[in-house]
């Protein structure tokens, strides 16, 4: 019996007795208990109440291949599609897969991550079956030079998906964030983590990690170091499998075009979605901070910052708004 079968029974959020679960799965109560212990070892939360049985803390919609396919997921694009209940990080899983795959395209989803990662070593809070966490393994034949601007292109793909889903007020922040207007502030809707392996001058494999907030609850906000919001809080309540299929479909479309023509054809569309354009900001570099006004990106995806010394271009770092710009 796979753990997924047990989770599917519990996914309605109602209590189920050990006898009921055992009957549904055709196993003994002892076998059910062992499987529940494995869920606990995987850090998947569930409630156990004597006389009532077992349940997940709340009803959830699990990712399922057939449901994804029914919603138009581009299954033929990938050599392998994996959906895991729990992983330390989907990017870690795809980085390991890249070691023995030079040309394969793979995608890996996790219902939760125990060590989800963002840029600059930040933790990415990943509660069970609540948001969207996945990574794509995608080969590039021309090395690291061919992927300049890739994180911006991926962000644009997610932004397109948000528009299709009817998420109002979403926009992009250089180089890898999807933001949305929420309660008068810019809140983080999603993020992207790009990692590279292989020959940086020739054939290389890129792992593209995407985290998208679907439902950011108050109990999770205490673990997040910045304002965050889910599309549910923005008034969009769509089946989780449908959201996933739409996001991945836009991502595949962008990756295919980016592989041929790079970021340049996407520049104007990205600049149109830039939530920081014309705003006072500071660029945080490893050993310094530079202040200026954001002036969009160029054909390479480099940030233009209008400083006291004039326009300067940057291809790395993190943009943060000044406090006075939030007034």
pLDDT of 325 above 50: no
Kindly report the pTM of this predicted structure.
0.88
Q: What is residue 323's predicted lDDT score, i.e. its pLDDT? A: 40
One CATH from 2.30.30.100, 1.10.3210.10, 1.10.10.10, 3.60.15.10 for 276-326:
2.30.30.100
Window from 6-20, 69-83, 154-168, 241-255 with minimum mean pLDDT: 6-20
Among 44-58, 169-183, 186-200, name the most confident range.
Answer: 169-183
State which fold the 3-55 domain adopts: Arc Repressor Mutant, subunit A (1.10.10)
Q: So what's the pLDDT on residue 324? A: 39
pLDDT of residue 321: 62
**Who wins on pLDDT, 127 or 298?**
298
Tell me the angle at which helices 18-25 and 29-41 cross, rounded to the nearest 10 degrees.
100
Residues of the chain with CATH 1.10.10.10: 3-55
Name the segment(s) of the chain with CATH classification 2.30.30.100: 276-326
- Whether the pLDDT of residue 37 is over 80: the answer is yes
Express each pLDDT in 206-222 by its tens digit: 999 999 999 986 555 54
Geometric angle at alpha carbon 322, from 306 and 150, rounded to 5°? 60
Q: Write down the mean pLDDT value for the chain.
A: 87
Residue among 151, 129, 160 nearest 248 (CA): 160
CATH among 2.60.40.10, 3.10.180.10, 3.30.930.10, 3.40.50.1370 for 65-272: 3.30.930.10
CB of 62 within 8 A of CB of 129? yes
**What pLDDT, on the 0 to 100 scale, is given for residue 123?**
54
pLDDT at residue 119 above 90?
A: no
Looking at the predicted structure, is the pLDDT value of residue 199 above 60?
yes
* pLDDT for residue 1: 44
Of residues 221 and 299, the one with the higher pLDDT is 299
**Predicted local distance difference test score (pLDDT) of residue 146:** 79
Confidence category of residue 10, pLDDT binned at 50, 70, 90: confident
Residues with catalytic roles: 119, 188, 322
Q: What stretch(es) of the chain map to CATH 3.30.930.10? A: 65-272
Reported in sequence order, the residue ranges of the chain that DSSP labels E, i.e. its strands, are 47-49, 53-55, 80-87, 106-113, 132-140, 170-173, 177-182, 185-198, 204-212, 280-284, 289-297, 303-307, 310-314, 318-321
% of the chain with per-residue pLDDT over 70: 89
């Amino acid at each position: 019996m796979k753990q997924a079968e047990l989770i599917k029974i519990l996914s309605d959020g109602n209590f189920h007795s050990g006898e009921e679960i055992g009957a549904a799965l055709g196993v003994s109560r002892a076998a059910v208990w062992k499987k529940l212990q494995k869920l606990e070892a995987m850090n998947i939360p569930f409630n156990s109440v004597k006389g009532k049985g077992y349940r997940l803390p709340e009803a959830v919609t699990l990712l399922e291949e057939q449901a994804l396919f029914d919603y138009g997921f581009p299954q033929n694009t990938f050599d392998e599609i994996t959906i895991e209940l729990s992983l330390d990080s989907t990017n870690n899983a795809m980085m390991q897969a890249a070691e023995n795959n030079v040309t394969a395209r793979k995608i890996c989803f996790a219902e939760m991550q125990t060590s989800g990662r963002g840029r600059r070593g930040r933790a990415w809070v990943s509660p069970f079956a609540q948001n969207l966490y996945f990574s794509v393994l995608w080969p590039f034949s021309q090395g690291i030079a061919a992927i300049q601007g890739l994180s911006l292109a991926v962000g644009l793909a997610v932004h397109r998906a948000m528009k299709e889903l009817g998420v109002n007020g979403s926009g992009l922040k250089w180089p890898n964030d999807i933001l949305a207007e929420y309660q008068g502030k810019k809140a983080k809707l999603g993020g992207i983590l790009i990692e590279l392996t292989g020959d940086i001058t020739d054939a290389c494999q890129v792992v593209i990690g995407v985290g998208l907030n679907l439902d950011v609850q108050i109990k999770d906000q205490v673990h997040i170091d910045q304002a965050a919001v889910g599309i549910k809080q923005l008034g969009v309540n769509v089946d989780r499998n449908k959201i996933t299929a739409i996001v991945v479909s836009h991502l595949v479309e962008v990756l295919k075009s980016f592989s041929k023509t790079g970021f340049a054809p996407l520049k104007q569309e990205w600049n149109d979605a830039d939530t920081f354009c014309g705003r006072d900001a500071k660029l945080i570099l490893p050993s310094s901070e530079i202040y200026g006004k954001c002036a969009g990106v160029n054909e390479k995806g480099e940030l233009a910052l209008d400083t006291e010394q004039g326009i300067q271009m940057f291809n790395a770092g993190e943009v943060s708004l000044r406090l006075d710009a939030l007034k």
